Amino acid sequence: MNNFIFENTTKTFFGKGCVKEYLHCLAGHYGSNVMLCYGSGSIKRNGVYNEVMEILHKAGKTVTEFSGIMSNPTYRKVLEGAALARENKIDLILGVGGGSVMDCCKAISLAAVYKGDIWADFWARPGIIDFEPLPLGVIVTATGTGSEMNGGAVVTNEELKVKTGKDYPICNPKFALLDPVYTFSVPRRQMISGGFDTLSHIMEIYFSRPDEENVSDDIAEGLMRGVIRDLRAAVKDPLDYTARSNLMWEATMAENRIIKLGKQTDFQCHMMEHQLGAYTDCNHGEGLAVLHPAYYRHICGAGAVKFARFAVRVWGIPANGKPLEELAKAGVEALADFIRELGLPTSFGELGIDKGTDLQAIARSCPIVPGSYKKLTHEEIYEIFQECL
Ligand code: NZQ
Ligand code: ZN
């Protein structure tokens, strides 16, 4: 394995009833001004808002609300939240939602205390954060991104048409509360999209060097088999607690840095999807579902040994003396079949992307990362986009 240092500073509370049990005590560690951040109102419809507000009021907190955090949160929204946090002398930011809310809150926690422009200094390029952001706690209501236990915050700069994120460990939430029951009300389409995002994270880590036997790949294979099993079960019965709780922890495990240890990691597919999102505002997990098979058809020849291992160990395809390349392709096609089985979109058309969209401009704007088995060119990214039409 490659060398690594590991630390994860988020204290994580998992399971049915964990918000009721621990939020009061956790909030007690911070001052009285809490900024409650959420999205477009699902927490008001499913009762989570009332539950959280009651706890905060009992804990004697003064609550400032910051709502309307959109899917694919924008830099403008971050600045709006930061101004509100400063105005109200906020001691604790509490994000209640999915990846969009959590990411926006992480960026707010920095912008609220930083004198300069956080986009220019920490998003446009990697920077060094040598100050303490406002403390952040999160309550997860939709699983998939794993944002609850990392420092990553993916933000869209609409003016620049760039969607990007960096994982700054100092932005890890101080605490994360994960009650699987809170995810029961997530619409089926989002549940599937979130589950696929998790699978994508694991694949983006797994398909990168080193490929000699290593603990991270072994855990990744177990996690991928788990996501496939649990997504199938949750599609059949969205109230299946076992499936939903597994999906929740699989999402966290995929992105809490554990399976990245000793791995180079790829994330080229995420780079393409993020730019697609910057131009079209498409749903993150669905965008990945369209791109992954096309991307992997491009690189599986160069990484045939690993893709063949994926076919056998993740999809249970018997090797039976098949040539390596054939087995590798069978693994990619098993993934494509699974995407169809889940009813995820399989083309840009199904993703709702306009025919007139300038795919060449999007392709040119995609960062090229070195982690994959085959370094793409912008022309190849455009070809991949064409294959998704
Ligand atoms: O707006 P609200 O009311 O919150 O409704 C949301 C939203 O419409 C809804 N929802 C959430 N919990 C619900 C619920 N509806 C009913 N009941 C509940 N319990 O679900 C919709 C989608 O939510 P969103 O947070 O946008 O989805 P997701 O969790 O997939 O997050 C996507 C964002 O995270 C970024 C993506 O790029 C995208 O911007 N990512 C963040 C990562 C990270 N920080 O590590 C890594 C990922 O690769 C990803 O890029
Ligand atoms: Zn993702």
Low-confidence ranges of the chain (pLDDT < 50): none
Calculate the dihedral angle through the C-alpha atoms of 115, 118, 121, 126, rounding to the nearest 10 degrees: 140
Looking at residue 246, its pLDDT comes to: 98
Q: Which alpha helices (DSSP H) does the chain contain, by range?
A: 18-27, 42-45, 48-58, 75-87, 99-111, 118, 188-206, 215-236, 241-255, 268-280, 284-299, 304-313, 324-342, 348-351, 359-365, 378-387
What's the pLDDT at 1?
A: 86
Q: What is the pLDDT of residues 198-240, one digit of tens each?
A: 999 999 999 999 999 999 999 999 999 999 999 999 999 999 9
Extents of the domains making up the chain: 11-183, 188-387
Length of the chain measured in residues: 389
Expressed in angstroms and rounded, the spacing between residue 193 Cα and the centre of ligand 1 is 10
Closest ligand, as measured to the CA of 289: 2
Atom of ligand 1 nearest to the CA of 72: 39
Identify the pLDDT of residue 372.
Answer: 86
Phi and psi at residue 164, to the nearest 5°: -155, 160
> Out of 1.20.1090.10, 1.20.5.510, 1.10.645.10, 3.30.450.40, which CATH number does the structure's domain 188-387 have?
1.20.1090.10
Spatial contact of 172 and 148, defined as CB atoms under 8 Å apart: no
Spell out the residues 6+ positions from residue 373 whose beta carbon is closer than 8 angstroms to its own.
Answer: 207, 208, 209, 299, 302, 303, 306
141 lines ligand 1 (CB under 6 A): yes
Domain 11-183: which CATH class?
A: alpha beta
- pLDDT, residue 371, reads 82
Q: To test the ligand 1 pocket, which listed residue (36, 42, 239, 258) has its Cβ within 8 A of the most ligand atoms?
A: 42
Long-range contacts, 324-332 (Cβ 8 Å, 24+)? 325/301, 328/300, 328/301, 328/303, 328/304, 329/297, 329/300, 331/300, 331/307, 332/293, 332/296, 332/297, 332/300, 332/307
pLDDT at 151: 98
* pLDDT tens digits, 164-187: 999 999 999 999 999 999 999 999
What pLDDT does 240 receive?
A: 98
For residue 34, the model assigns a pLDDT of 99
142 CA distance to ligand 1 centroid (A)?
A: 6
**What's the pLDDT score for residue 87?**
98
Interval between CA 196 and ligand 2 midpoint (Å): 9
Ligand 1 pocket check for 345: Cβ under 6 Å:
no
Question: Per residue in 288-312, is it b (16+ CB within 10 Å) or e — as a string?
Answer: bbbbbbbbbebbbeebbebbbbbbb
Q: Of 38, 94, 145, which is best to mutate to test ligand 1, by the most ligand atoms within 8 angstroms of its C-beta? A: 145
Q: Is the pTM of this model over 0.85?
A: yes
Neighbours of 4 (CB within 10 A): 11
